[in-house]
Chain A
Amino acid sequence: MAVIDLGSFRAQTCDGLPRRSFLRLAPSIPLALGLGSPLLAAQTMRAKSVVFVFMWGGPSHLDTFDPKPDAPMEYRGPLATIGTRTPGVAFSELVPMLAQRSNLFTLIRSHQEPAPGHPDAGTVALTGFEERPLPVKPNFGSIVAAHRGQHGQLPPFLSLTSGALADSLRIVEGYGAGTLPKANDPFLVGCSDRGEVDLPNLRLLEGLSPGLINDRRTLLNRLEADLRRFDTAGSASWNDTYDTAYRLLTKPEARQAFDVTRESPETRQRYGQTTFGQNALLARRLVEAEVPYIQLNYSRHPEAITTGYELGWDTHILNFELLQDQHCPIFDRAFSAFLDDIYERGLIDDTLIVAIGEFGRTPKINQRASRDHWPRCYFSMWAGAGIEPGRVIGASDRLGEDPISDPITPLMVGTTIAELAGIDSLTRIQMNVLEGGTIIDELL
């Protein structure tokens, strides 16, 4: 199953199952696998909520959080470095706000992963494993969702995006539940730069607009009519997964959590009037609602300049221009506001924040004065859940080509997330997830 894009009824199966077959099968899956009962609660849970900020496309580590000012120009690039709140640590001049907040998070500069291309590396980043051999492993969020189960009205795993993560060729196979029951797939929610709610999973009705979603009475009428239509069509069993998601909009608790327009103008402005900024604000609201896992995606697509695709960090061309014009100002502002907000509201101890891409970018500038994919070395940022902030863990070599400390892998990222979310090693074995993973000792 590629993606449950039930909203627009464009669901397709890779294994040839027709859409209607899936709709009949779906309700039986959660019951068969006992999803209603969360697995063992671990004793070490520090994070009620995990916010996984996915910098899709692969941001350049040299031009952001791991600059190399002493490297030759064809490596270090044109950007200056600036000091941070962490003694002896410099960032690129493109992220001044986060430089002033380096005391709020811990930076890892020694990541490494095996996949060279986007869909594969995206799966590795989200699951800890490569897409092949099959089966595709579960997204870290699906693991947390399966462990916690659903409490209250909100799904346990929300992915903030305008649609399934994909590049121009195909979706990221590690987007969802993988080997876990499909009920642990992410529920997709996004909002525009105006704060209009968009629910890609629920584009069942043609013309289901954010405005309509905000009009509860009209929406209810549409939903009821649609349910009757499907019942008449012989899909009476269509209820659990689909219906739960479908009816989510009618629940005041859920609707309130999704509605960033309830925030003060000042708060919304702090995050910036950008799609990522307002989604970051939505993530903070979902933390307050104690959603266990929130995947905050920088963009739906990784591409830099491609017709019809959202703009991600994949800067094969115009690397310095796009970072300077767009990506770094957007990210610097929104992620800074998010960190400030989480700290100011006293949520940091119960929240784990991880920001990471699927890889870095070539330290040596390419023929197009830009940077290509670089899986051998990249960075991440961690905050909350008891992690001591203001540190740098690991280091890359003088050109930013390879870690000079033990490489930290995506599987270690996922294992550490799981551990902090209360899924200890025994539970991971019982769940048959994150096999062979170890935690990042230096973080904890």
Chain B
Amino acid sequence: MSCSSQHCFRALGRVLFTTLLAVVPGVLEAAPPVRLTDNGTMKFVAAFAGDGSDVLFVELVKPTLFQIMRLKLDDRSVEPLHGNQTDHELDIAVSPDGRYYAFVQCHGTLHGAIEIRDVSQKSVGHVPAGPGFSVYRSLAFAPDNSRLLFTFPENVHRQIFSVSLKGDDRNQLTDTNGINNWPCFSPDGKQIVFASTRDGRYEIYKMQADGTGASRLTNSPTMDLRPQFSPSGLRISFTSNRDGNYEIYVMDSDGSNVRQVTSHPERDDYSVWHPGGKHLLMVSERNGYHDLYLVDAPP
């Protein structure tokens, strides 16, 4: 995450990513997903960094440790983002302009705080864990870096909150029954898409950035999870097990025109958009191995 020139870094990222797609036959023609990692270890939340040249993701590196790893797409090398950590790192989010990232760092027993850092890994903000068992989850930056979203359970239900990048000025955005989780800002910062069980099951909803005006976008008898706005704001990717198995779907931002992106008897999950908007990164299980894959996004 260190770079002397953000613009140079991002330009290089674009070149490298384009090169990656070009050298892998068929990627541009909506071919099978391209496997980006090969160790097969369980992986979870992922985010593009460096304008698409790097991928940060959470991996269960050993039975006792979740760790954030950095994949460099140019040479496919993978290394821990923070070196040899002994504490769990559960989530990762990168600001759209690549200047900041945030993650959940756990200490002791069932205690997870939010750490907000700049691209050089210098701390800019911190949200301490609450009293007792307390772990924040599901981080997301506002496009203008004014706010960071997260979720936290209070009084039985999980709600969506935001803080400044210093970690203060906490603001509660949802106040409903059930679980509200996986928030994501629209590219213009005016809306937030998220999943909620307020109506009984996990469905995708959209609300204004201040938490008002929530409307439901999906209606599935099973789980619809982890929505992500596309860079254009016109589409939303999400995970659903509506066909009996976790698959990636894309719909228009009003909930219409749902298209199934993956169809495999094993799990596809944790989709995120490449900054170019034409590809989705996901964690897929294939033959029991969990790896990062790139897949074409439907138009």
Residue of B nearest to A278 (CB): B288
Residues of chain B within 8 A (CB-CB) of A329 are 267, 285
Residues of chain A within 8 A (CB-CB) of B84 are none
B112 on interface, CB distance cutoff 8 Å: yes
B135 adjacent to A318 (CB under 8 Å): yes
CA distance A83 to B267 in the complex (A): 20
Q: State how many angstroms separate the Cβ of A270 from the closest Cβ of chain B.
A: 7
A321 adjacent to B137 (CB under 8 Å): yes
B133 adjacent to A368 (CB under 8 Å): yes
B75 on interface, CB distance cutoff 8 Å: no
Residue of A nearest to B200 (CB): A73
Cβ-neighbour of B40 out of A73, A273, A304, A333 (below 8 A): A273
Q: State how many angstroms separate the Cβ of A141 from the closest Cβ of chain B.
A: 22
B276 on interface, CB distance cutoff 8 Å: no
Residues of chain B within 8 A (CB-CB) of A274 are 42, 288
Residue of B nearest to A77 (CB): B197
A367 on interface, CB distance cutoff 8 Å: yes
B88 adjacent to A370 (CB under 8 Å): no
Residue of A nearest to B85 (CB): A307
CA distance A110 to B42 in the complex (A): 33
B145 on interface, CB distance cutoff 8 Å: no
A311 on interface, CB distance cutoff 8 Å: yes
Q: Which residues of chain A from 315 to 357 have any CB-CB distance to chain B below 8 Å in the complex?
A: 316-318, 320-321, 324-326, 329-330, 333
CA distance A333 to B178 in the complex (A): 28
With an 8 Å Cβ cutoff, the count of chain A residues facing the other chain is: 49
Q: Is the interface of B mostly helix, strand, loop or mixed?
A: loop
A238 on interface, CB distance cutoff 8 Å: no
B244 on interface, CB distance cutoff 8 Å: yes
A269 adjacent to B109 (CB under 8 Å): no
Which stretch (B29-37, B149-157, B163-171, B250-258) binds chain A? Answer: B149-157
| With A78-B179, A93-B241 as contacts: A311 and B63 at CB distance below 8 Å | yes
| With A73-B177, A78-B197, A93-B223 as contacts: A307 and B107 at CB distance below 8 Å | yes
Residue of A nearest to B179 (CB): A78
B238-276: contact bitstring with A at CB < 8 Å (1 yes, 0 no)? 000100110000000000000000000001000000000
Residue of B nearest to A100 (CB): B244
A67-95: contact bitstring with B at CB < 8 Å (1 yes, 0 no)? 00000011000111010000000000100
Residue of B nearest to A315 (CB): B110
CA distance A274 to B59 in the complex (A): 12
CA distance A273 to B222 in the complex (A): 26
B198-232: contact bitstring with A at CB < 8 Å (1 yes, 0 no)? 00111000000000000000000111010000000
Cβ-neighbour of A96 out of B108, B109, B244 (below 8 A): B244
CA distance A273 to B245 in the complex (A): 18
Q: State how many angstroms separate the Cβ of A119 from the closest Cβ of chain B.
A: 15
Q: State how many angstroms separate the Cβ of B282 from the closest Cβ of chain A.
A: 14
B245 adjacent to A96 (CB under 8 Å): yes
Residue of B nearest to A306 (CB): B109
Interchain residue pairs with CB less than 8 A apart (8) = A272-B288, A273-B289, A305-B88, A317-B133, A321-B181, A326-B60, A366-B156, A368-B153
B interface list, Cβ under 8 A from A? 40-42, 44, 60, 63-64, 86-88, 90, 106-110, 112, 133-135, 137, 153-158, 177-179, 181, 197, 200-202, 221-223, 225, 241, 244-245, 267, 285, 287-290
